[in-house]
């Protein structure tokens, strides 16, 4: 059987967090527990593993037993990690790791609806709320096109949205993949067809990000980590495409005093704020050749990291989509 998930950039994340005995760490995207396990093996510390997918937590129970008393699993959104930990009596931690996106376990199970293999058009990590089928079958054509354009960075978004609207209702991943492939002009005309990736990839990505409000969660999660980290505590965030990397980069630049803090909600004339983070990575860290050979998923992974200062957490910047 294939291993369920190969943890991307695990050693680099571990080096950043540098777990110490008695330390407290949050793995905000527990998944198959690869980061949690590495942290727990590195030092006699405590880990809280958060995941919104109940299946990930069920599989993690064996690990909870193995690390008797040192690993606590929490079902919920990492965007609320400060509140989730507070509810368990923890107000500060020494490290937070985030490995954004979906796990191999989720992609590999056709019934979760994340892959092109035929399954229900679901895509919900939490297995609750609106599905991808709800979105494709109910959104007005213009809104669907905007979503596919913005969250999939898909230049044929309008054609795809029109084709979806013509074909609906439908509720299978294979149907969506077929509709998208057909809507995209064929190879030789400068279109996406003939690319290394399946032409439906970008539309699937857009729907997945929308269904799970992934960018909103990311922005909330960065603010929550800022509030939860103790001075000297470290944040390590791994992301897989520019839509995710951009808000991480911007957040860390601003909080470390590398970018103007001014915004509609936090005017430049206001007293300058003391940086709440010190950047540990000027450029994102990426996987080396050995890791790439073993794990193609690491190809587009980027790790950004920062260390919390003693300055108070900044108020949420609503212009950045952050939420307190
Ligand atoms: C890429 S996998 C993490 C893999 C993990 N680092 C490992 O080594 O096994 C991402 C996991 O985070 C979870 N996840 C994604 N967004 C989340 C969120 N906002 N809150 C909680 N869990 C989330 C997904 O359900 C998935 O299990």
Q: Of the candidates 197, 234, 239, 191, which has an alpha carbon nearest to the alpha carbon of residue 218?
A: 239
Which CATH architecture describes the domain 10-105+214-308? 3-Layer(aba) Sandwich (3.40)
| Closest CA to ligand 1's atom 12 | 29
The bridge status of strand 229-239 relative to strand 93-99 is parallel
Query: What is the pLDDT at residue 316?
Result: 83
Exposed / middle / buried, residue 4 (Cβ in 10 Å: 0-12, 13-18, 19+)? middle
| Closest CA to ligand 1's atom 27 | 31
Query: What is the pLDDT at residue 206?
Result: 98
The yes-or-no answer to whether 10-105+214-308 and 113-212 have a common fold is no
Three-state DSSP class for 74? strand
For ligand 1, pick from 2, 4, 14, 31 the residue to mutate: most ligand atoms within 8 Å of CB: 31
Delimit the domains of the chain by residue range. 10-105+214-308, 113-212
Query: What is the pLDDT at residue 131?
Result: 98
Query: What is the pLDDT at residue 1?
Result: 41
Query: What is the pLDDT at residue 24?
Result: 98
Query: What is the pLDDT at residue 220?
Result: 97
Atom of ligand 1 nearest to the CA of 78: 20
Question: What's the CA gap between 249 and 134, in Å, rounded?
Answer: 32
| Closest CA to ligand 1's atom 14 | 29
Q: pLDDT 10s per residue in the chain (324 long)?
A: 445 567 899 999 999 999 999 999 999 999 999 999 999 999 999 999 999 999 999 999 999 999 999 999 999 999 999 999 999 999 999 999 999 989 989 999 999 999 999 999 999 999 999 999 999 999 999 999 999 999 999 999 999 999 999 999 999 999 999 999 999 987 655 454 455 789 999 999 999 999 999 999 999 999 999 999 999 999 999 999 999 999 999 999 999 998 765 555 555 556 788 999 999 999 999 999 999 998 888 899 999 999 999 999 999 876 677 776
Is CATH 1.10.150.170 what the domain over 113-212 is classified as, yes or no? yes
């Amino acid at each position: 059987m294939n291993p369920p998930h190969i943890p991307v950039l695990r050693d680099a994340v571990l080096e950043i967090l540098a777990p110490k005995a008695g330390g407290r760490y949050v793995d905000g995207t527990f998944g198959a527990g690869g980061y949690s396990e590495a942290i727990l093996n590195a030092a006699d510390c405590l880990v809280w593993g958060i995941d919104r997918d109940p299946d990930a937590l069920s599989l993690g129970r064996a690990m909870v037993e193995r690390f008797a008393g040192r690993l606590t699993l929490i079902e919920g959104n990492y965007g609320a990690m400060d509140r989730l930990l507070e509810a368990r009596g923890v107000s500060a931690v020494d490290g937070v790791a985030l490995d954004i996106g979906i796990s191999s376990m989720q992609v590999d199970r056709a019934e979760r609806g994340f892959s092109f293999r035929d399954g229900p058009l679901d895509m919900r990590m939490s297995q609750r709320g609106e599905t991808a089928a709800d979105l494709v079958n109910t959104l007005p054509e213009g809104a669907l096109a905007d979503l596919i354009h913005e969250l999939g960075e898909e230049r044929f978004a309008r054609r795809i949205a029109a084709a979806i609207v013509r074909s609906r209702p439908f509720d299978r991943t294979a149907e969506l993949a077929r509709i998208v492939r057909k809507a995209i002009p064929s190879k030789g005309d400068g279109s996406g067809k003939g690319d290394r990736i399946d032409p439906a990839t970008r539309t699937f990505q857009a729907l997945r990000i929308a269904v799970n409000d992934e960018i909103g969660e990311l922005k909330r999660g960065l603010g929550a980590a800022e509030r939860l980290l103790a001075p000297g505590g470290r944040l390590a965030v791994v992301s897989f495409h520019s839509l995710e990397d951009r808000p991480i980069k911007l957040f860390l630049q601003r909080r470390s005093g590398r970018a103007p803090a001014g915004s509609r909600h936090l005017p430049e004339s206001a007293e300058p704020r003391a940086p709440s983070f010190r950047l540990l990575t000027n450029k994102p860290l990426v996987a080396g050749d050995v890791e790439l050979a073993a794990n193609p998923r690491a190809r587009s992974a980027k790790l950004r990291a920062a260390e919390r200062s003693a300055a108070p957490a900044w108020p949420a910047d609503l212009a950045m989509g952050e939420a307190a």
